[in-house]
Amino acid sequence: MTTGPLTWGLKTTPQRHANNREIPYAQAKVLGGGSSINAEIFTRGHPSDYDRWEKEGAEGWSFKDIQKYFLRSEGNAILSGGWHGTDGPLGVSNIPDPQRMTRAFVQSCQEYGIPYNPDFNGPTQDGAGVYQTTIRNNRRCSAAVGYLRPALKRPNLTLVTGALVLRIVFEGRRAIGVDYAINDKRMTARADREVLVTSGAIGTPKLMMLSGIGPAAALRSHGIDVIEDLAGVGENLQDHFGVDIVAELQNHDSLDKYNKLHWMLWAGIQYSLFNSGPITSNVVEGGAFWYGDKESVSPDLQFHFLAGAGAEAGVPSVSKGASGITLNSYTLRPKSRGTVALRSADPRDLPVIDPNYLADPEDLKISAEGVKISQEIFNQPSLQKYIKALRFPDKNVRTQADYIAYARQYGRTSYHPTCTCKMGTDAMSVVDPQLRVHGVDGIRICDSSIMPSLVGSNTNAATIMIAEKAVDMIRGNA
């Protein structure tokens, strides 16, 4: 779901440290945002990620401060206790019947030396296991399903779709609403109290700059009147840079067999009649958190195992008619920093996105280590007995130089852009710890763009946590 009409069709600038490739950069164009098109993985990150936020100027955002918001959002169908919520709007569940290849992957990780972990959101992140997912009753539970749908009948909520927000409207230095357009008809929505911006780490800095909030020189170069000169808007872009390996299987032991018509029909019957079968899978069922740098105090690599091949745009598949498996790895806390900039003052123009992948040598080193570990996991007995051949990369990729070259040529986004309107008190911060935009009144930002630094996991759960905490702030309870 990372291509097609549910996304904006974005791509990066040529990445100078990744062989000058323009990398597809899917961002959701649908209710629920990324939670409606992602792999449904529910991971929070390491507690130290949030303690680091507080050290970076986000007072009140340490793990002990924000854990309750994770629990408040979570409606876990299986787990409870101090690490899990059971009554939240966001349905969370364990995969009821992991694919055979997923189980073999978890066993192979243990054979390699990565211990089994039944709960990545529990006391320990290290290990390999099956992901918890944002699935309820075998259906995706996006933010739109969990939060928006139950609220649609409220008299104080109006949902407008098919609309493009053009800019935030100001009276003096106070935001009083937003201009938006449906087709060619322009309208204004007025705010009684505040404008809440939730357009994500790409859309939010774009909207802020279109509205006159951002680096003054850049805004003036596009003919935009400056409301507030904030140098940090669009800066500090951080994302997980993922690298995949793909193996072809001896038999049809992965989800790829359901590309064949008769298996596809059977899967549809299973799901329609029994609410079971492969359609209930999120495909990315298994994973691991482990160490590329053995001196790291917390895992610095995350792995995603796909019980299939060719499911990800831009990642090669296996021979026609064959079945395969995929293992993706990425550096959890990259040191490279990128930017989001305006292409023009026209809101319909796509932004200029430069993640600046692999600019820091440490990112390249850990990425290469991820590929090496991925190959080692595929070489373990529990998976190797099913594998016909490693198709991508080929068997000649063996040295450190090979792994580095491979990462440069085939690495891609993991769809976790963050930090482009970061929270803090330094000169490059955009919002304060109450999520209020510096220098103006009446605007809060409540999305992944406010993260001071990227968390060491998938970002959906952390973004929803931010929104839960924002609710208390708006109500004056935090």
Q: Which of 17, 240, 304, 416 is catalytic?
A: 416
Q: What is d(CA 128, CA 444) in angstroms, rounded to the nearest whole number?
A: 38
In the block, tokens 């930002």 appear at: 445
| Cross-strand bridge partners of residue 21 | 15
Which helix (H) or strand (E) is 200 found in, with range? helix 200-210
**Catalytic residue check, 416:** yes
Residue 19's CB is within 10 A of a number of other CB atoms, namely 13
Q: What ranges in 303-442 are assigned the alpha helix state H?
A: 361-378, 381-384, 400-410
Q: Where are the beta strands (DSSP E) in 183-300?
A: 185-190, 195-197, 213-214, 228-229, 241-249, 286-290
DSSP E strands in 127-184: the ranges are 127-130, 132-133, 135-136, 139-140, 164-171, 174-182
* HSE-up (13 A, CA, CB side) for residue 125: 23
| Alpha carbon of residue 360 to chain centroid | 21
Dump strand ranges (E) for 38-126: 74-76, 90-94
Instruction: Tell me the C-alpha distance between 363 and 238, whole Å.
Output: 12
Residues tagged active-site: 416
